[in-house]
Amino acid sequence: MCDCRFLPLFFIVFACWIFCCGPAPAAPVFSGQASKVIDGDSLEVVSGAGEKIQLRLWGIDAPESRQRYGKEAKLLLAAMIKGRRIEVQTKDIDLYHRLVALVWVDGALVNEELVRQGAAWVYEHFCQEYICDHWRRLQEEARRERRGLWIWPKPRPPWRYRHKNA
């Protein structure tokens, strides 16, 4: 026979555990239209509600606009997304109050595609998830095949460029 006096207490404790310690909710996902490309890893999207949102692509770092291959990286991102419907999965918010996100267009992960085409580096400081290992392999393949910014023997990563030119 069950002592039912403790049943309500059990449910309260269980509910608190789920609320406090249960699985984290999934990152917000929304659709929008890419309205503006700022540089090779930043863009503006207009949400379904008409709100303009600035995004930074998570896990990658593209050359700065004034850096070698910066204009090409921006043009490549624009060709992939500008004016198109994109899916956005928020990962973080950066120091400039931009959403940092994964972005898909027609089922292709834009962040990954920029690394594959040699238009961006894997941003080692921030890219520490399982998918980053795959991106590192894509980056190495782009480097071996001298795609994009890898046409130069030792291209300067943007984080070093920013540090020296700050």
**Hey, which residues are catalytic here?**
56, 64, 98
Question: One-letter amino acid identity for 74?
Answer: K
The token duo for 119 is 């238009």
Burial letters 5-21, b for 16+ CB under 10 A, else e: eeeeeeeeeeeeeeeee
3-state helix, strand, coil in the chain (%, to 5): 40, 25, 35
Is residue 115 a contact partner of residue 142, using CB atoms and an 8 Å limit?
A: yes
For residue 160, how many other CB atoms are within 10 A of its CB? 10
